[in-house]
Amino acid sequence: MASSAHTFLSFVFYTIFLSFGSYKAEARRFNDISSLVSKGLFDSIFLHKDNNACPAKGFYTYNSFIQASRCFPQFGRTGSSITRKREVAAFLAQISHETTGGWATAPDGPFAWGLCFKEEVSPQSNYCDSSNTQWPCSPGKSYKGRGPIQLSWNYNYGPAGKALGFDGLNNPDIVSNNSLIAFKTALWFWMTEQNPKPSCHNVMIGKYKPTAADVIANRTAGYGLVTNIINGGLECGIPNDGRVNDRIGYFQRYATLFNVSTGSNLDCEDQKSF
């Protein structure tokens, strides 16, 4: 009897152990961004990123996106299922506008051509703010837009590199030469608060708390505020701006693919920039 009882208890504990292992594996899967964005969904979002017409053909891979997201465990993993999906849709929409190769009559529509470019075409300057002594420019280097978010300026390359482990000031080209680092810079910008700007992440998950200055400037929570954070100085406060509308168009398409609503306050035409 004692032997039988011991065998039975061993079986029970072994079953519990296997169940716990399966639970942990399932928890890891659920907490991974791949549970929200499958390879199939990623490919349906970026229908033409590997088109021969796109200079970034073959650069922005699904695996790089997933690996980069794992460095930012709060991205797409905070809040309800709707909140998580909406944040990821918003992020992918913004990087799509930044790298778009679409046009009004493009095959499958203008919002099927995100991630077509990996660096800025015909930059108007080298984006060096020489007054910024904390992140001094390296001679001969250009800090033009690169990667999914089109990271620009020495004061972004420097801290991004420090946070992610590359030399952003002396080797900015790595952002357009390394797919994983490229996605990491986009997510770094998305997740990082740059006072007085909140992080795009906190805006999309409902943790944005407007200051008195924000209230006066009508900087209300929503996708439009994310646009303001990214490029408000050039695009916000302008009625019916085409660039803002392009960002919205991408978001609307992606929200539909994620089966979520976009939420309110999609534009920033009534907001003052930061």
pTM: 0.89
Assigned domain for 70 exists? yes
Assigned domain for 23 exists? no
Which DSSP symbol is given to 126?
Answer: -
Measure Cα distances from 156 to 56, 145, 162, 273 in Å. 22, 10, 10, 18
Assigned domain for 18 exists? no
Token reading at 255: 């929200």
Instruction: Output the DSSP codes for 141-159.
Output: -----BTTTTB-SHHHHHH
Is the domain of 164 the same as that of 251?
no
Q: What is the CATH number of the domain that holds 76?
A: 1.10.530.10
Q: What is the CATH number of the domain that holds 163?
A: 3.30.20.10
Assigned domain for 157 exists? yes
| CA 191 – CA 200 distance, rounded (Å) | 6
Is the domain of 86 the same as that of 205?
yes
What is the pLDDT, as a whole number, of residue 18?
A: 42
Assigned domain for 187 exists? no
> Choosing from 87, 98, 120, 235, which is the catalytic residue?
98
What is the pLDDT, as a whole number, of residue 22?
A: 41
What is the pLDDT, as a whole number, of residue 54?
A: 98
Is the domain of 111 the same as that of 206?
yes
Is the domain of 93 the same as that of 222?
yes
Is the domain of 87 the same as that of 202?
yes
Is the domain of 124 the same as that of 105?
no
The single residue listed with the structure tokens 């200055």 is 213
Is the domain of 131 the same as that of 99?
no
Q: What is the pLDDT along the chain (274 residues), one digit of tens a residue?
A: 444 544 444 444 444 444 444 433 333 444 689 999 999 999 999 999 999 999 999 999 999 999 999 999 999 999 999 999 999 999 999 999 999 999 999 999 999 999 999 999 999 999 999 999 999 999 999 999 999 999 999 999 999 999 999 999 999 999 999 999 999 999 999 999 999 999 999 999 999 999 999 999 999 999 999 999 999 999 999 999 999 999 999 999 999 999 999 999 999 999 999 9
What is the pLDDT, as a whole number, of residue 5?
A: 47
Q: Indicate the burial class of 211 (C-beta count within 10 angstroms; 0-12, 13-18, 19 or more).
A: exposed
What is the pLDDT, as a whole number, of residue 269?
A: 98
Nearest to 65 by CA among 207, 235, 181: 181
Per the CB < 8 A criterion, the answer to whether 110 and 102 are in contact is: yes
Is the domain of 230 the same as that of 240?
yes
Is the domain of 84 the same as that of 143?
no
User: Of 136, 152, 178, at which residue does a domain stop?
Assistant: 178
Per the CB < 8 A criterion, the answer to whether 200 and 91 are in contact is: yes
Q: The domain containing residue 234 runs over which residues?
A: 33-117+193-274
Is the domain of 131 the same as that of 247?
no
Is the domain of 134 the same as that of 197?
no
Number of domains in the chain: 2
- 235 in catalytic set: no
What is the pLDDT, as a whole number, of residue 129?
A: 98
Q: Tally Cβ neighbours within 10 Å of residue 4.
A: 8
* Bridge partners, 119 (sequence order): 146
Assigned domain for 17 exists? no
| CA 115 – CA 23 distance, rounded (Å) | 36
User: Of 155, 178, 201, at which residue does a domain stop?
Assistant: 178
Assigned domain for 87 exists? yes
Nearest to 188 by CA among 272, 51, 69: 69
Q: Tell me which long-range contacts 162-167 makes (C-beta under 8 A, separation of at least 24).
A: 163/188, 163/192, 164/71, 164/188
Assigned domain for 230 exists? yes
Is the domain of 90 the same as that of 215?
yes
